[in-house]
Structure 1
């Protein structure tokens, strides 16, 4: 990332997430209006194998964090959360669903105090480091 272009590294981020490739599409086909006969369309959705929402329904937003924080997050997502979901029997686990669930948990569990505490800790830590 350069100072002139804060989004210069966005392509690297996109390349780092191959697990989140489009799985299904809601785009109209050339055969719109003709009844779909694929087995995926005719069977009921299975929560253990079918994703909660399509790739197209997701909105990618860049976020900025320290490299070590992102590495810790990626490890936690891949080795803790994904493993837990897999042990519960879920298949076809994609990053967009895990990230969506995480963001919903932060909002729905009203973790404002906890997040504010981490924010304050980082500010104090940075202040102490700059005074040394």
Structure 2
């Protein structure tokens, strides 16, 4: 359950409606018991709830399979979402480079099912490998400002 507060109920929330009232001007369709899953009926299953037992068996059966054909490197439920704070022009350039340079390169390598979570994970890994460049880059950016 979330900590979302809906506030106080309406004063007449517990009262039964009068059956004698038949005002055609205020007729509204009866409320249905819609659940959150009904709201997202066209979205598809939550990736964390998809049964992956068949795909795991397939991987064990064919250990010589090309890594480009195995699907994402890690499941969605292993993701930790956290914001990255970048200027709009930097973020736009990043997305453009992904779309115009990285995606075609991945296709040339036979990777067609790349997931953005995988790309973001690799971006962070590359950043970690080059942390020694950060202090100088930060000084340059501050000089430019």
Q: TM-score range by the shorter chain?
A: 0.5 to 0.7
Matching residue within 84, 88, 98 for 1:77: 98
Which stretch of structure 1 is more off in the superposition, 64-73 or 76-85?
76-85
Say how many residue pairs are matched.
95
The residue number in structure 2 matching 1:14 is none
Q: Matches of residues 8-87 of structure 1 in structure 2 within 5 Å?
A: 24-25=47-48, 27=49, 38=54, 40-44=55-59, 47-49=67-69, 50-87=71-108
TM-score between both structures, scaled by the size of structure 1: 0.60
* Structure 1 unaligned residues grouped into runs of 5+: 1-20, 30-35, 127-132
The residue number in structure 2 matching 1:9 is none
TM-score between both structures, scaled by the size of structure 2: 0.55
Q: Decide whether aligned partners of structure 1 residues 59 and 22 sit closer, same or farther in structure 2, where only a CA change above 3 A counts.
A: farther
Distance across 1 between alignment mates of 2:108 and 2:46: 22
